[in-house]
Amino acid sequence: MKSNLWEEEIISGCLNNDRVAQKALYDRYKTKMYTLSYRITNDFDDANDVLQDGFIQIFENLKSFNSKAQLGTWIHTIIARTAIKKIRNKIHFVDISEADESYLIDWGSTIDVQFLEKAIASLPVGYRSIFILFEVEEFKHRTLQR
């Protein structure tokens, strides 16, 4: 229950342009949101840009936040969408059937965390972003209607 009270107080303060409340909100979510930004962009500068742009959107749109949802989930969605927008122009999908050997990964008999992180980081931007969003962040795929 304390978390809900904290959120209500922070949201109220942010809506009144209270810099202390804004800093408290930022401090509470900055590390997790930076990690998300970096996972999607795979670039420190882009992740910093996403974090800044995302929090500007958060503060500008906080009045539209529906308190029935979780604040952290709402923030997470904004940051993820901001990161996707940031990399959209960098995404170049490759037809896997035509991929050269540089896209093939030999997993060997065992996989350790460092090897897996390196393999994910080596994926082309679009593939890596989709993998991170779906497998790590548990976003859902949208089915295209034709």
8 A C-beta contact, residue 34 and residue 51: yes
Region of poorest pLDDT, from 7-21, 23-37, 83-97: 83-97
Q: What are 41-82's pLDDT values in tens digits?
A: 888 999 999 999 999 999 999 999 987 788 999 999 999 999
Domain limits of the chain?
2-136
Neighbour-count burial of 64, counting CB atoms closer than 10 A to its CB (0-12 exposed, 13-18 middle, 19+ buried): exposed
Q: Which residue has the tokens 């401090």?
A: 27
Among the four given CATH numbers 1.10.1740.10, 3.40.190.150, 3.40.50.10860, 1.10.10.10, the one describing domain 2-136: 1.10.1740.10
What pTM does this model have? 0.66
